[in-house]
Structure 1
Amino acid sequence: MITIDGSEGEGGGQMVRNSCALSLVTGEPFRITNVRGKRSKPGLMRQHVTAVEAACVISGAECSGLAVGASELTFRPGRVAGGEYHFAVGTAGSTGLVLQTILMPLVLASTPSRLVLEGGTHNMLAPPFDFIERAFLPIINRMGPQVSARLVRHGFYPRGGGRIEVDITPAPLQPQTCTTRGARTGVAAQVVFSGMPFAIAERMLARARHDLADWPEDAFSVRQLPAEQGPGIILMLEAAHSEVTELVSGFGQLGVPGERLARTSAARMNGYLAANAFAGPYLADQLILPFVLADGGAFSTVKPSQHLLTAIDIAQRFTGRRITIEQAPAGEHLLGFS
């Protein structure tokens, strides 16, 4: 049994999610202590419990210690089976992070799956649905499986209530070499909001327009959702290239001016565009599982974060495979899988 100290490295919920996913694929049971030991509120939150429950449901796995607030759990995987599944976080907890836990086991299953996930779709500290759909899943589909996702209803923090539907046609993961992003094919900046004054969205977009001065005027837009889907607001900046799409998001936060959020988001996007890397920091996190399970390939990214290094450590412990990091002369970092 693999034993993991959840306070090591990045010390967050990713360690639980990735461990469940890798356990289901490799058949290795694990025990994790000090769950989310470096967070201000340690222990499992509702979304983590739902993610582990989902892993149990799709495989018949056994898990002890699973409860909101728990700091330790033991997971013994079962056999993953495709099928129709419905999971509800019950709060604004991220549907995307629940999907992250069960997607790789299901794309490697023997039969197709259809998922309905309810909870948060656009909330802080998690990739928004748009990132999953437009940045992450196209790479998974390039590797062999076919995964499509639909946003049925937005779910902002703190209300939640969102819904996404995902169809999965499994196939072996084929190694890929992703080191160049290709020519830019388009850019877009959109503020999506609900239950808030229109003026906030306008100010946020105006700051983004100022800081992304070389983007065309028609790249900027505002989308207002029905009030019952809020309150909430998010700025999404998208840069599409022939080989990859980067999507940077800024979530509205109580007491934080929209202009500040837009300035930070634009700086992150400009930083990515100025680099030569294929993957931004958040896409790099997401790619560790499919690439290590493809048993080969490589991708380039920006400077590795502690979050990425922790994901690499967990992946190597479950698979026994080697992941190397080399800095290229142009500044990007090349991750190799063998």
Structure 2
Amino acid sequence: MLEIDGSHGEGGGQILRTSLALSCVTRKGFKINNIRKNRSNPGLSHQHLKSVELMSELTNAEIEELELRSTELKFKPKNKPKGEIEIDIGTAGSICLLLQCILPTLTVAEDEINIKVKGGTDVKWSPPVDYFKNITVYILNKIGIKADIKTKKRGYYPKGGGLVEFRGKPSEVKQFDFSDNQSPEKIKGVSYVSNLPEDIAHRQKKSAEDILDKYKKDIIVKKFEAIGKGTGIVLWTKNGLPLGSSSLGEPGKPAEEVGSEAAENLITEIKRNGAVDRYMGDQLVPFAGLSGNSRYKTTQLTQHTLTNAWVVERFLDINYKIKGNKGKEALIEVN
């Protein structure tokens, strides 16, 4: 059984999620301690509990020490992943982070995996659902991962209540080379509100468009169904692989600031010499490892990415070669 130190590197929940995914791929059991030790509220939160429960149900895994705020866990899958499951995080915990556990396991899945998840679709410290669909899933489709999502209802902090349907099919990850970036032809996006005046979404959109004045733009305004109130904007480039950015509204934060924040962050991503943005730089790590011989250039090397690479190397017989410094553009290779 592999032993994983949950305090390594950035010491957050991604260590657990990646360990769960690759344990299910390799059928190697693991014991993790110091779970989320570097966070203000260490141990398993509701989202992490549900991630473990989901992966256990998909693979009939043996689990020990699964309880809220536990800092240790043992997990050993018995079967290849398959199933049709409904799961409720019970809070505004991120649906997208939970779904990250499933994506690598499609490379060994026996059959379709269909999941209905209730929780948070647009919450802090995680990719919004529009980023997940238009950037994460879009890029993974290009390398052979057969997955898609449908968002039925939005979920915001603190009530949650969002609903996303995930569908994945058995997949074979292709080797890939994403080392060249391309200038965007257009900026796409969605500015949205739930249970708030639609004018907020229009103001977010205008603020973003003013900053992105040199680009062609196609930013739509949407009013989404939800239990609670929420607002935000997600932007991404068109031409080559999409680069993305987002910003969430919150009490006291003007709509103009939400829009400008997302636009300025996207311009930063565009100006850097990378084929994928900093967030996909992290999310592509396990797929590069599973492909066995791939490389890609990220706009910014983050501690998340370095930590994720460390976890993947524990499970797979590979080594990452990273050319670049943290906070700068970097080329990530597996061979």
TM interval, short-chain normalised:
over 0.9
The answer (yes or no) to whether the contact 1:296–1:336 under 8 Å persists in 2 is yes
The letter of the residue matching 2:253 is V
The correspondence for 2:234, drawn from 225, 236, 240, is 236
- Cα distance in structure 2, aligned partners of 1:81 and 1:220: 38
The letter of the residue matching 1:231 is K
The letter of the residue matching 1:230 is G
The correspondence for 2:298, drawn from 298, 301, 320, is 301
**Overall identity of the aligned pairs, in %:** 31
- Cα distance in structure 2, aligned partners of 1:99 and 1:276: 29
Give the match for residue 224 of structure 2.
225
- Cα distance in structure 2, aligned partners of 1:312 and 1:81: 23
The answer (yes or no) to whether the contact 1:11–1:37 under 8 Å persists in 2 is yes
Give the match for residue 315 of structure 1.
312
- Cα distance in structure 1, aligned partners of 2:229 and 2:69: 27
Greater than 6 Å deviation, 4+ residue runs: none
Over 3 Å counting, the alpha-carbon distance change for 1:222 and 1:322 in structure 2 is: same
List alignment gaps of at least 5 residues for structure 1: none
Give the match for residue 65 of structure 1.
65
Aligned residue for 1:58, secondary structure, equals: helix
The letter of the residue matching 1:286 is Q
Give the match for residue 163 of structure 1.
163
- Cα distance in structure 1, aligned partners of 2:254 and 2:65: 41
1:128-167 to structure 2, matched below 5 A, reads 128-167=128-167
What's the offset of the Cα at 1:313?
0.6
2:321 counterpart of 1:324: yes
Aligned residue for 1:184, secondary structure, equals: coil
What's the offset of the Cα at 1:44?
0.9
Give the match for residue 27 of structure 2.
27
What's the offset of the Cα at 1:183?
5.0
Please report the TM-score for the alignment, with normalisation by the length of structure 2: 0.93
Please report the TM-score for the alignment, with normalisation by the length of structure 1: 0.92
What per-residue deviation string (whole Å, max 9, x for no partner) do you get for residues 150-179 of structure 1? 112222222211111122221221211111
Over 3 Å counting, the alpha-carbon distance change for 1:257 and 1:38 in structure 2 is: farther
- Cα distance in structure 2, aligned partners of 1:15 and 1:289: 12
- Cα distance in structure 1, aligned partners of 2:122 and 2:47: 14
- Cα distance in structure 2, aligned partners of 1:181 and 1:116: 35
Moved more, 128-137 or 38-47: 128-137
What's the offset of the Cα at 1:124?
1.3
Give the match for residue 208 of structure 1.
208
Aligned residue for 1:187, secondary structure, equals: strand
1:1-338 to structure 2, matched below 5 A, reads 1-182=1-182, 184-216=184-216, 219-226=218-225, 228-242=226-240, 244-327=241-324, 332-338=329-335
The answer (yes or no) to whether the contact 1:194–1:230 under 8 Å persists in 2 is yes
- Cα distance in structure 2, aligned partners of 1:153 and 1:292: 34
- Cα distance in structure 1, aligned partners of 2:316 and 2:86: 29
Aligned residue for 1:238, secondary structure, equals: strand
Q: How many residues align?
A: 333
What per-residue deviation string (whole Å, max 9, x for no partner) do you get for residues 165-203 of structure 1? 122221221211111244534212432111223443344
- Cα distance in structure 2, aligned partners of 1:49 and 1:36: 13
The answer (yes or no) to whether the contact 2:107–2:145 under 8 Å persists in 1 is yes
List alignment gaps of at least 5 residues for structure 2: none
